[in-house]
Structure 1
């Protein structure tokens, strides 16, 4: 499932939706140069509008970046729900989501920074809440695997740390950038998640195997 739509914003604006076109241009630019070097002027240029036109829809530069981040969060949420709906056990639900997240990070490339940039998260409670909501989608599965709420949240935290860790290492170039490398790391992340769950269950020893 492709997470980004890399067509240029100009084409989208010709269909009358400037805000959407600007968000897509923002995703494209951040992918290329990162959050720090993102420019509203460049987003306007790629969308084919005047430098002042974006401010009819977004109060400032950060507002446009936040809109792009929320767009990614929504698409990641849809992917998580799709994956959670197909796996048949709580362990496989967690493992499948972790693998999907690694693939998402590889697909987003530089755009992944929009999910994690401290400068955006610190200033925007909506983004922090969105990231928490993504993690909370995994909580029901963690609860099935843990004897109590505290253990479930500990398992959830560990799973999210593992998921983000593999994504960050992949984007740092530790494993290479080929499609084969991405699939190999997704497989490793899946195995690591299963091992994490098994170790957590050994520690808590509260429920029958699932």
Structure 2
């Protein structure tokens, strides 16, 4: 269901950058990643169309800032979900659940982080923001791989990509309303991948250097 158009916002002196990120999230919620502009963000905030350029070179740079915020929210959700996990199998399942829950609860952030198709070589802050997520997947996978990093990376990527697939299908309505089924299925899929991990083998050099979720 589409959110109603956001009301014109006000911001406090010195907080324009944060206000632009907030407004970008609202516009993405209403129109999708491709449907917002710096000009519209300016209009919503009641500032000159030139004002955002004091903080962002272009709309992609603002999208990158939204992506960084998204990753921070996701990592916090992952940390909370896996805090009570009993062992690495449960930890991988917990990370997968958190990933899907995040996508369902924060679709504009999910779309900005994983659907904006930004050139990440231009925005190293995005890679830095996703690094704790990659490390969470990999640490649990290493504990299940007797220290074999290649096999651990294969498992981490498989679980991460599967979680991303469940998240995407949930947003498309493939698991029905609410996303609860997608969360449960992502948990089950992670556990199934762990059980069959010896069949995964390893990936060619370089294939595991990207995101473990939202590749």
TM-score (norm 2): 0.81
Runs of 4 or more above 6 Å deviation: none
Give 1:120 deviation, angstroms.
4.5
> How many Å apart are 1:60 and its aligned residue?
1.6
Cα separation, 2, equivalents of 1:142 and 1:8: 45
Count of residue pairs the alignment pairs up? 195
CA deviation vs aligned residue, 1:75-125 (integer Å, no higher than 9, x gap):
111222222322121111110110111111111224422112223446433
Equivalent residues of 1:8, 1:47 under 8 A apart: no
Change in CA separation of 1:190 and 1:81 when aligned onto 2, cut-off 3 Å: same
Larger helix proportion, structure 1 or 2? Answer: 1
Q: Distance in 2 between matches of 1:96 and 1:15?
A: 41
What do residues 48-91 of structure 1 show as CA deviations (whole Å, max 9, x unaligned)?
A: 22212111211221111111111111111122222232212111
The residue that corresponds to 1:22 in the other structure is 20
Q: Please point out which of 41, 44, 48 is paired with 2:42.
A: 44
Deviations 1:99-153 (A, max 9, x none): 1111111112244221122234464333244334422222111111112211111
For the aligned residue pairs, the C-alpha RMSD in angstroms reads: 2.4
Cα offset for 1:14? 3.5
1: CA distance between counterparts of 2:90 and 2:44? 42
- Answer yes or no: is the 8 Å Cα contact 1:34–1:111 preserved in 2: no
Q: How does 1:51-200 map to 2 (within 5 A)?
A: 51-116=49-114, 117-121=116-120, 123-147=122-146, 148-176=148-176, 178-179=177-178, 182-200=179-197
Secondary structure in structure 2 of the residue aligned to 1:92: helix
Seen in structure 2, the aligned counterparts of structure 1 residues 40 and 128 have a Cα distance that, compared at 3 Å, is: same
The answer for unaligned runs of 5 or more in structure 1 is 1-6, 205-210
Partner Cα distance (1:75, 1:170) in 2: 19
Please state how far the C-alpha of 1:26 moved relative to its aligned partner: 0.4
Contact 2:21 2:62 in 1 (8 A): yes
Using the alignment, how far apart are the partners of 2:66 and 2:56 within structure 1?
A: 11
For residues 147-203 of structure 1, the C-alpha deviation after alignment (integer angstroms, 9 at most, x for no partner) is: 221111111010111111101111122223x22xx1111011111111111111687
User: CA contact under 8 A between 1:39 and 1:61: conserved in structure 2?
Assistant: yes
Is the Cα–Cα contact under 8 Å of residues 42 and 49 in structure 2 kept in the other structure? yes
Q: Does the aligned pair in 1 maintain the 2:81–2:95 contact within 8 Å? A: yes
- Whether the 8 Å contact between 2:66 and 2:109 is mirrored in structure 1 is no
